Structure 1
């Protein structure tokens, strides 16, 4: 098959997602039409990750994140030319759109060109992003409008699917997945003398660094505690508590080493699609303490492998309980690994996407692993 991936926001988790699909479908051809967010990761660095894969790249120069009509019209016509050429060359069996901007423009272009086998994966509902009710309302209307152009909406977590169905958009769920076996052989025991709480990701509003800082501040006088944020970003100044270490961006193996040496993985995100960083924490047998938000709540199973919280005070109480009962953390970590392997294995993910690329959405809807996510569908 020939699969065209369209990604305006070709950085962060979307790169991991597309790379996973490419690597696990080695017999298919993948054409990646992409924008660039150089302030996050330059494309020259991203391309190195695909060096030994069956992917080729087409630059989408006009693509940009913010809504600006002149730029968006330019992005529409540029993408139209690219997909029209690929269609004429019989290079398209399926088009997979990644993120909201690609989803909106891409579905319009496919509608005009008569390309019917279209999949749209939001990777985080855009109408949960805004800082105001007005902006979220606008994004909801844009998602509804985009849905009218066709294509199958595929959410990466059941809670994300629920949010789409609340606004009247039918969707299915295919969980994100990772290769759990690649973490075999790592020393998974905490190595620090201090009780270490870790998180990983860009330091941006969506990850709520202010909440992370508020939790850490409570423990400033407790020398037994330390907090680590793996990553960097424009809002790093919000992480001002003296017991927080910001590592900056690091290679994947080093990230895994730091997480494996911690006691607890903490996420303060306002919302997620289904975060790869938390999936890796599950694979590394870490208890997880996560905000009760879209995407996060799918990763905690009956409080066996961690807990959800709504307010910083709840997180503080849980961390104190973990600290005073460290023997329970190993058991919770084992539950994390079991839950992860059962529900978020990459083999399940790419098999279901491949069925979608073949045009077999009914097979996905009847998948036994997805029935809980489709109760309200």
Structure 2
């Protein structure tokens, strides 16, 4: 890169899994002496003080209202994001522009960016989101197809890469799998009366299918020694609470790691995926996992967990793991080994920068 070039990351919602990816990439380039900028919107789960997540030399540019999903608010936020991005692009003479997730991808591929190499990581295509109206999904698919030539797609899983290749046709697609780091955490202090802990982690919304977690919990019935937790928060919080699931709210990273460490079985339902970082973190923590049988999740779990198609199969899997401590320990060990060997943050960062050409 030229001496006056930069790396700019754009994120419509700097939260959840993307909050594990972008700081790792941004810190790597700013430490190497490359000016690095993050333009981002906010969700309720976005930390108030983003400076705690980044090297202090990374320039952070929040965009008010970007992330608002109402019709008017969404349009206003998108315009503000485009203006903010144009302003940041004008400060440098080209470089790398990396767009993270669908809405950032739409803005960043429409804004003129001569001299910039554009990269786009969907982290789960929005047109696969069955909770969106059919018309919106169709429009998103049309937009993805039309805009595919305007950026090199860096898919976060082989499954996402296969979708990207169909959309991009002859244009560039690379696969860089998400990765996590971290040693086994010390378990947090369990509330009195808890014995066997079944939990899920993430945003309580359609993609993570909290309705299936509730159905599974009902099928498992009442057992005074089993506790059901959802570590996270979201619009479907009350659905979970009403079914007797303890919802923690958003936790600091250290507290979330401690909560996962005291979980006996981590259940990861999903409607669609890029490559789930919360599942990788549970595997890295040495937890037995039960997860939806989707292509991206098969890519992660393989034989290191139990894959299920619905809530009854998940309930059966939890019963098996509760009854068989040796099976639980074996799957937990396999999960830790697989995450540690194949899905590291270091590999993710190095492969991404190599794709940039740095």
TM-score, length of structure 2 as denominator length = 0.87
Counterparts of 1:326-337 in structure 2, within 5 Å, are: 326-337=325-336
Query: 1: CA distance between counterparts of 2:52 and 2:142?
Result: 38
Query: 1: CA distance between counterparts of 2:81 and 2:56?
Result: 28
- Residues 79, 106 of structure 1: 8 Å contact kept: no
Match for residue 173 of structure 2 among 171, 174, 177: 171
- Residues 159, 297 of structure 1: 8 Å contact kept: no
Match for residue 71 of structure 1 among 59, 73, 76: 76
Classify the secondary structure of the residue corresponding to 2:301.
Answer: coil
- Residues 232, 248 of structure 2: 8 Å contact kept: yes
| Corresponding residue of 2:97 | 95
- Alignment deviations for residues 271-330 of structure 1 (CA, whole Å, 9 cap, x no partner): 2222221111111111211112353232211x3x11111111111111111122111111
| Corresponding residue of 1:366 | none
Classify the secondary structure of the residue corresponding to 1:12.
Answer: coil
- Alignment deviations for residues 119-144 of structure 1 (CA, whole Å, 9 cap, x no partner): 11111111112424433222111101
Query: 2: CA distance between counterparts of 1:261 and 1:106?
Result: 41
- Alignment deviations for residues 225-246 of structure 1 (CA, whole Å, 9 cap, x no partner): 2211111122111114654211
Query: 2: CA distance between counterparts of 1:274 and 1:81?
Result: 30
Unaligned 5+ runs, structure 2: none
- Alignment deviations for residues 304-360 of structure 1 (CA, whole Å, 9 cap, x no partner): x1111111111111111112211111111111111112211111111111112227x
Query: 2: CA distance between counterparts of 1:168 and 1:215?
Result: 39
Aligned residue-pair number: 346
Classify the secondary structure of the residue corresponding to 1:228.
Answer: strand
| Corresponding residue of 1:292 | 293
Classify the secondary structure of the residue corresponding to 2:164.
Answer: helix
Query: 2: CA distance between counterparts of 1:295 and 1:223?
Result: 35
- C-alpha spacing 1:73/1:128, structure 2 compared with 1 (3 Å): closer
Query: 2: CA distance between counterparts of 1:260 and 1:193?
Result: 14
| Corresponding residue of 1:369 | none
Unaligned 5+ runs, structure 1: 360-377
- Residues 202, 231 of structure 1: 8 Å contact kept: yes
| Corresponding residue of 1:48 | 52
- C-alpha spacing 1:137/1:197, structure 2 compared with 1 (3 Å): same
| Corresponding residue of 2:86 | 81
- Residues 35, 61 of structure 1: 8 Å contact kept: yes
Query: 2: CA distance between counterparts of 1:206 and 1:187?
Result: 27
Classify the secondary structure of the residue corresponding to 2:270.
Answer: coil
Give 1:73 deviation, angstroms: 6.9
